Structure 1
Amino acid sequence: MEYGSGGGGSGSGDHHDEASGSQRRKKRYHRHTTHQIQRLEGMYKECPHPDEKQRMQLSRELGLAPRQIKFWFQNRRTQMKAQNERADNCALRGENDKIRCENIAIREALKNVICPSCGVPPLNEDSYFDEHKLRMENAQLKEELDRVSSIAAKYIGRPISQLPPVQPIHISSLDLSIASFGGHGMAGPSLDLDLLPGSAASSMPNLPYQPNGFSDMDKSLMTDIAANAMEELLGLLRTNEPLWMKSSTDGRDVLNLETYERIFPRANSHLKTPNVRIEASRDSGVVIMNGLALVDMFMDPNKFGELFPTIVSMARTIEVISSGMLGSHSGPLQLMYNELQVLSPLVPTREFYFLRYCQQIEQGLWIIVDVSYDFPQDNQFTNQCRSRRLPSGCLIQDMPNGYSKVTWVEHVEIEDKVPTHRIYRDLIHSGLAFGAERWLAALQRMCERFACLMVSGTSTRDLEGVIPSPEGKRSMMKLAQRMVNNFCASISASNGHRWTTLSGTNEIGVRVTIHKITDPGQPNGVVLSAATTIWLPLSPQNVFNFFKDERTRPQWDVLSNGNAVQDVAHIANGSHPGNCISVLRAFNTSQNNMLILQQSCIDSSGSLVVYSPVDLPSINIAMSGEDPSYIPLLPSGFSISPDGQADQGDCASSSSCNATGSGSLITVAFQILVSSLPSTKLNLESVNTVNTLIGNTVQQIKTALNCNSS
């Protein structure tokens, strides 16, 4: 910006007054050079009011008239004063609006006092009796806690507070077995990669507030936000046309934004923000779990994360704003943090700080609503999240025989500051990647798994009859699910992973990251995670069948050296035959003590095939029904999802796969224990080994499926 003697500071007027004439010449503007402006700005920072001597020195130095120097400083001071006044006015206006909103909230609360938990006016009791009731409830809760603690202490033989911290069991034989798959020693130059402490699943974001960091006014405002969001969500759940329209391509529910803005005008001022994309979807279905159990899992962040391991990479409760009615799931309000993922290092995770509110509408009917909470403007986390949850959630209705009907709405606004990778653009922009259909499909599959977990019978085919009891079956299922959870965490593109791209056999390249692992159930030491994503013009179902079939495994498993494998144990994990747990044994190998634990799972949104080497003694521990929590696992495998394009047929039966159209996105991922010593540095040879391993695997997959040209 240039400053001069003219108004507005855009130039300097050079006025020449002639002594012999009374008329003023026409004003002529003089543009300052960049050097002149920089020198004047530097002088202004040191001295906004230069004296005559300083102005003369600047005049000689810059080749400007003293009058030009004088006018430039006058205009600069005027402009700075105007800028400061505007900033002060904006700050005062914002503070005034904030106070006005607080006053309105207080007046409305006093005008119509309603209990947020039960929805009825409170009794006319004075504050003394209210406080007395709370103290009595606290005393009862403490007595209940002491009673439960004493019962637990009888079983473990000592007070709970005296229990030592749990230490992971280290099995050195597994270190050697897994390391032998991926490396040939630790010789060679070290590679300068960041060593991350622990896995992504154990890392925790810097949260904006510590517990008990909110005032009563903040909590009252959160309650109002949650109540308004619940009303909007009920409208989205129960209204069909013209609010929701059926898509002509796939029959999905599509939100009519014009109708939405007309019905909910207060909620839509943010929709006009540039560079913001809206994703809205709705779906409903029946799940094998009663409503009360579902509500309990949704309100517990740990259970919620276990319910959706392929979608939720992290779930935490920041603070419980309201606990709701005692002994009921009606009225609890929590401020939570979620990180959602697509199983590929190419897709960044989505972060949300949001309020989760549950209300029982009637007997056997609950609504759970999520809505983003905007922190105060002076908070350092205000602009951290590029994603906002508009009122979203689900309606849970009890049905006979332990079933529930779930209607799910996902409604978010996304600011894509980082362009979506080309091969994932259709899947994400169509809303399928994070939409209601994916959530509901994952919920139905996991509820089927829980139902299988509770069935008392064992599998029809097991390892030479050595699964002796239902406890052994449940132990194997828990071990396999932990393997899947670790696999999903290892390929997440969350803040806990810093992926480094290597040159590879395809245009994507191989992404690698390393971690120092100390978590129970994983081998201690330095672990290398590597992954890549490829596109194939095949349906996800056909790709899943290829990976799951043990007869085709030698065609892609470079670690088996072409040897056949046998499915020696099999546990059903759902109604679909593809949802199962297998124990595989490779023939003609020198490692007869090593087996492969594999879990495959599939639903309408995608599928997984995850496997890990496990030694025979560890398998025997799990099959005997003992706790499998400390059996080390380093899972590898495949994530398969549709590419989001319109279905134009499948070329799986063709001799070649050169057709364009819908296909599959396959993420190939490996984990390798580089060293059992946590202080060991990663070397270039290990990286080259895993790069070659993934490259050869991808090439063998394409060759086996006749897709070398894709």
Structure 2
Amino acid sequence: MPTGAIAPARLVPQSLATKPMFNSPGLSLALQTSMEGQGEVARTGANYDSSTVGGRRSRDEEHESRSGSENMDGTASGDDVDVANNLPRKKRYHRHTPQQIQELETLFKDCPHPDEKQRLELSRRLCLETRQVKFWFQNRRTQMKTQMERHENSLLRQDNDMLRAENMSMRDAMRNPMCTNCGGPAIIGEISLGEQHLRIENARLRDELDRVCTLAGKFLGRPISSLAVSMNPPLRNSSLELGVGNNGFGGLTGISSTLPLVPSDFGLGILNHLPVVPPKGPINFTPIDTSLERSMYLELALSAMDELVKMAQTDEPLWIRSLEGGTQILNLEEYFRTFTPCIGMKPNGFITEASRETGMAIINSLALVETLMDSNKWTEMFPCIISRTSTTDVVSSGMGGSRDGALQLMHAELQVLSPLVPVREVNFLRFCKQHSEGVWAVVDVSIDALRETSSGGPTFSRCRRLPSGCVVQDMPNGYSKVTWVEHSEYDESVVHQLYRQLVSAGMGFGAQRWVATLQRQCECLAIVMSSSVPNPDQTAITPGGRRSMLKLAQRMTNNFCAGVCASTLHKWNKLNTGNMDEDVRVMTRKSVDDPGEPPGIVVSAATSVWLPVSPQRLFDFLRDEHLRSEWDILSNGGPMQEMARIAKGQDHGNCVSLLRASAMNPKQSSMLILQETCIDPSGSLVVYAPVDIPAMQVVMNGGDSAYVALLPSGFSIVPDGPAAQRVSGSLLTVAFQILVNSLPTAKLTVESVETVNNLISCTVQKIKAALHCES
């Protein structure tokens, strides 16, 4: 029997009797796909007797797969006969009691797919067989899907009926024109202009209808004819419309429930999983409240996803490898021959930055997708790249409890750790789609062009994010193959000359940095969560102490990055003083209520310089506790001792350390240095902060680290050019955060600013002298 056919003896539920289960090729294909993958219907297929012609099921199973409110008596069978009269005994049916139906409906609302344990418990509590419970849930999901499809058709019919009525009224007006001056019949020559306007409006409405039907067809997986839809009479609104009318798609309600590659019995997720989230933080956006704007977002997301997948899978001639370093360079001529820019033409004065990188990461595809779709997890995974991010609106949170089909508006501030490179603020759509089993794709695309169209005016942005993102494929042993594509257009004039080559080559915001950071962070999580990793610490630290110490180091590094790049995460005020070096940026803020910082006025000073030293040599020098006295005033003129160390990766440079200075100065004998170092192919980082010994003892014993006050300082190191060119030096960023006055009511003085400026200049000079590169 073909897939989806119904055995002759099977009873059809009352709610489905008026409509076949597979009433359209698209729906039939969606159900067959689900049956072949992981759907409940596919598993039911095992109940057919393959030796029987037509695949007829056994009658004992057939009588239990009836509707949710009606079942046969479990003692009856179609083969039972009355021995006395030698006649077949009639099947006896009984309906579920109202209490049984209420219990089943209550569980169905919370869990449309109960597991075997839940079904067993429910059957025991309701005095039903487990198969009766199983088939009741199957049929209930089928009922709900049929109702959803009817509702989708109702919405499309209502839209088309409205357009058809407007079209008819326009035709009537054209057939019987009236003169606006005298009220009598108009002469043909008098309505030529009005007729032309009506024809233009009619054509516009037709184009809009065709575009919406085409967009709906992409989601439904089958073509939808606007003429065929308009011929159907509109259905009367039902109570179901109240439940799904606010699912986040507005007028396109029917599109969201049948995204391709979603199991057919996705349950009632659409009722509860598509909230419209209000904007977070100080960013002001206009909420999405029109179906036209939503359809524009959906169309842009689909186009961006198609472009991302093609760019991730296509090699030459779209991507060309350089002869020296093997990096992948985008062939712009081939790109414009292959793709039509989905966000409009490049603004004047902007340049293109494009890169692609492939790597293996210790994370499965589902975990990585969940990280990318959650703004908080996304920031924690890429702390040195993302200074701030938020989800401003949710168009769809996914289908069937998964992230497949999730579409949301986001705002992000992307950074390079240098005061010479401004933070990139981007407003973009993020769309997630599952392409096959274990293969996902997440794409970002800027919405500046759409907002300019909807608002009627230009938008001012220094960066546009063309379709960018990653394609993730599950690999054995918990790994994933990640192909990352970054494609942006930005204003190069705002970038300092020292960093222009680095940024244009993709080493600042490009795919190489995203993949390298992802690999390092995943390796760190795997090591921290593994219980078999030996503890190399010189002092005993409890597992809880390790977690608290790592959490404190994470806060320290995040605050350091925010102080370097002037993120809006902290309310920094930039200072302009005449006696400061032009490449040194000084900012100040007041710390009053934060328990993780000392109260008073905090000054942050940062600068970037070029050094004729390799990045690896510079990193090894700065993290060596024995050479600390050559540049650090906190060392008291002598070497430091490593008291504890927590590894965060296989590379010895990825770790969190606790250092103690020499006890030459009695005033600093109660001070420790918390330090975090990390390195990957995109660059390295050394961040440290002085902390009190009593506070660190609490942390090392597993106490709360949120109340440990610290102000971080440190260094960021990147190569001075791409690997394709021979790296001749490093770009070093030096940053300090200092408490200049502990009184909240105090004011910043010129002497305090000069002290910070002298400190940062003196540190740079000491590093140059120690590495013999004063000139």
TM > 0.5 between the two? yes
Letter in 1 for 2:381: L
One-letter identity of the residue aligned with 1:445: R
1:219 and 2:294 aligned? yes
Which of 415, 434, 442 is the matching residue for 1:341? 415
**Equivalent residues of 1:647, 1:662 under 8 A apart:** no
Counterpart position of 1:487: 560
Structure 1 match to 2:241: 131
**CA 1:553/1:482 → structure 2, altered by over 3 Å: closer, same or farther?**
same
What secondary structure does 2:565 align onto? coil
* Match of residue 230, structure 1, among 302, 305, 325: 305
Q: What is the aligned counterpart of 2:653 among 558, 578, 592?
A: 578
Counterpart in the other structure of 2:712:
635
In structure 2, what is the Cα distance between the partners aligned to 1:266 and 1:98? 28
Cα separation, 1, equivalents of 2:611 and 2:457:
40
Q: 686, 689, 695: which is aligned to 2:761?
A: 695
2:530 to 423, 448, 455: 455
CA contact (8 A) 2:385 2:415 kept: yes
Indicate how the Cα distance of structure 1 residues 405 and 215 shifts in structure 2: closer, same or farther if over 3 A, else same: same
Kindly indicate whether the alpha-carbon contact (under 8 Å) linking 1:501 and 1:509 is maintained by their aligned counterparts in 2.
Answer: no
- Aligned residue in 2 for 1:433: 508
Q: Summarize deviations over 1:151-186 as a string: whole Å, max 9, x none.
A: xxxxxxxxxxxxxxxxxxxxxxxxxxxxxxxxxxxx
In the aligned structure 1, how far is the partner of 2:307 from the partner of 2:247?
34
CA gap of 1:224–1:380, structure 2 versus 1, over 3 A, is closer
| CA contact 1:459–1:571 (8 Å) conserved in 2 | no
Q: Take 1:540 and 1:504, find their aligned partners in 2: how far apart are those partners?
A: 31
Residue pair 2:619, 2:717 contacting (<8 A) in 1 also: yes
Match of 2:770 among 698, 701, 704: 704
1:413 aligned to which of 444, 466, 489: 489
Match of residue 545, structure 1, among 620, 623, 626: 620
Give the structure 2 partner of residue 296 of structure 1. Answer: 370
For 1:103-502, list aligned pairs within 5 A. 104-110=207-213, 113-114=216-217, 116=219, 119=221, 128=238, 130-131=240-241, 134=244, 204-209=281-286, 212-265=287-340, 267=342, 270-271=345-346, 273-373=347-447, 374=449, 375-377=451-453, 379=455, 382-418=458-494, 420-456=495-531, 460-462=535-537, 464-465=539-540, 467-468=541-542, 470-494=543-567, 497-500=572-575
Is contact 2:634-2:661 (8 Å) kept?
Answer: no
CA distance in 2, matches of 1:533, 1:478: 28
* Deviation for aligned residue 1:208: 3.0
Q: Is structure 2 residue 625 aligned with structure 1 residue 554?
A: no
How far did residue 143 of structure 1 move?
12
SS at match of 2:618: helix
Q: Is the 8 A contact 1:341 1:493 kept in 2?
A: no
In 1: Cα distance, 2:722 partner to 2:203 partner: 49
Q: CA deviation at 1:457?
A: 5.0
How far did residue 594 of structure 1 move?
1.2
Give the stretch that moved more between structures: 104-113 or 609-618.
104-113
Contact conserved, 2:243 with 2:271, CA < 8 A, in 1? no
Matching residue's letter, 1:341: Q
Q: What are structure 1's unaligned runs of at least 5 residues?
A: 1-95, 146-202, 650-660
Higher relative contact order (CA 8 A, sep 6+): 1
2:238 alignment partner, SS class: helix
Q: How does 1:12-91 map to 2 (within 5 A)?
A: none
| Cα distance, 1:417 vs structure 2 | 4.5
Q: Which AA in structure 2 matches 1:300? A: D
Task: Give 1:605's match in structure 2, choosing from 682, 688, 693.
Answer: 682
Residue by residue, what CA displacement relative to the aligned partner does 1:470-494 show, whole Å, maximum 9, x if unpaired? 2221221111111111111111144
Q: Deviations over 1:411-431 (max 9, x none)?
A: 11112353x312112212222
Give the superposition deviation at 1:342: 0.8
Q: 1:450 offset after TM fit, Å?
A: 1.4
Q: 1:641 to 1:338 in 2, by over 3 A?
A: same
The answer on whether the counterparts of 1:487 and 1:636 sit within 8 Å (CA) in structure 2 is yes
Q: How many angstroms does 1:371 deviate by? A: 0.6
Distance 1:423 1:97 in 2: 54
Size of the aligned set, in residue pairs, is 538
SS at match of 2:509: coil
Could you tell me the TM-score, scaled by structure 2's length? 0.65
C-alpha separation in 2, matches of 1:102 and 1:578: 63
Partner Cα separation in structure 2 for residue 606 and residue 253 of structure 1: 19
The 3 A distance-change label for structure 1 pair 616 and 97 is farther
1:585-630 C-alpha deviation (Å, 9 max, x unpaired) = 1112322221110000000010000001111122122212223222
Matched, 1:615 2:718: no
SS in 2 for 1:627: coil
Matched residue SS, 2:434: strand
Q: Which moved more, 1:482-491 or 1:472-481?
A: 472-481
Instruction: Name which of 565, 568, 580 aligns with 2:640.
Output: 565
Spell out, residue by residue over 1:69-108, the C-alpha distance to the aligned partner (whole angstroms, 9 max, x if none).
xxxxxxxxxxxxxxxxxxxxxxxxxxx9999778634323
Q: CA shift at 1:648, angstroms? A: 7.3
Counterpart-to-counterpart distance in 1, 2:465 and 2:672: 44
* Residue of structure 1 equivalent to 2:702: 625
- Please, what TM-score do these two structures have when normalized by structure 1? 0.70
Q: What does residue 78 of structure 1 align with?
A: none
| Structure 1 Cα separation of the partners of residues 270 and 366 of structure 2 | 25
Q: CA RMSD in A?
A: 3.2
Partners of 1:326 and 1:611 lie apart in 2 by: 45
Deviations 1:118-170 (CA, angstroms, capped at 9, x unpaired): 7568999975265265389999889999xxxxxxxxxxxxxxxxxxxxxxxxx
**What amino acid maps onto 1:703 in structure 2?**
A
Q: Give the equivalent residue in structure 1 for 2:174.
A: none
Secondary structure of the structure 2 residue equivalent to 1:355: strand
Residue 683 (structure 1) shift = 1.3
Cα distance, 1:462 vs structure 2: 2.7
Alignment-mate amino acid for residue 291 of structure 1: S
User: 1: distance between equivalents of 2:376 and 2:684?
Assistant: 23
* Residues 582 and 108 of structure 1: CA distance in aligned 2, closer, same or farther (over 3 Å): same
Distance 2:760 2:636 in 1: 14
Aligned residue identity for 2:693: L
Whether contact under 8 Å (1:346, 1:493) holds in the other structure is: no
Conserved? CA contact 1:502–1:511, under 8 Å: no
The answer to whether the Cα contact below 8 Å between 1:461 and 1:568 also exists between their aligned partners in 2 is no
Q: Following the alignment from structure 2 to structure 1, what is the Cα–Cα distance between the partners of residues 474 and 751? A: 57
SS at match of 2:549: helix
**Which deviates more from structure 2 when the two are superposed, residues 291-300 or residues 584-593?**
584-593
> What is the rounded CA distance, in whole Å, between the counterparts of 1:102 and 1:252 in structure 2?
48
- CA contact 1:503–1:510 (8 Å) conserved in 2: no
The change in CA–CA distance for 1:389 and 1:111 in structure 2 (over 3 A counts) is: closer
Please tell me whether the aligned partners of residues 453 and 477 of structure 1 are also in contact (alpha carbons under 8 angstroms).
no
- For structure 2, the residue ranges without an aligned partner over 5 or more in a row are 1-198, 249-266, 274-279
Structure 1 residues 558 and 359 mapped into 2: Cα distance closer, same or farther (>3 Å)? same
Residues 338, 299 of structure 1: alpha-carbon distance in 2 compared, 3 angstrom cutoff: same
1:630 counterpart SS class:
coil
